[in-house]
Amino acid sequence: MGRSNAAWPADLRLPLHGIRNEEIRLLGSGWNADAWLVPAADGEWVARLPKNEWARGETERQACLAPKLAAHGIPVPRDWSVVHDEQGNLVAGLYRYVEGEPAPGRGHALRSLV
């Protein structure tokens, strides 16, 4: 993922119990979102914080699509939800953390050609 000067927004309120704020860490940063590992009492979660309006819409679509894909046996992160601020703006996508390594993508393939 790309470089980021991301900092965890201290005022962000997530609907999770027992968040261990001192253990929150940046997983990665892309063009449209920063992904954070959020340890909580019931396990580890990923909070994806969109960087722009398009990414907010994309996060909303992913949250709607994930359960439909799972119903057809396609592996996706569990327990997707979205978090809105007091004005109703989407501020985060939230789902269970999945242990593992990212699949190689086009960026990896492109770099291997250079």
State if pTM tops 0.85: no
- In the predicted model, what is the mean pLDDT of residues 81-100? 93
- Structural domain tally of the chain? 1
Distance CA 38, CA 31 (A): 21
pLDDT band at 99 (very low <50, low <70, confident <90, very high): confident
Residue 112: the pLDDT is 59
pLDDT band at 26 (very low <50, low <70, confident <90, very high): very high
In a domain, 3, yes or no: no
Domain containing residue 48: CATH number = 3.30.200.20
In a domain, 29, yes or no: yes
In a domain, 34, yes or no: yes
Residue range 27-83, pLDDT digits in tens: 999 999 999 999 999 999 999 999 999 999 999 999 999 999 999 998 889 999 999
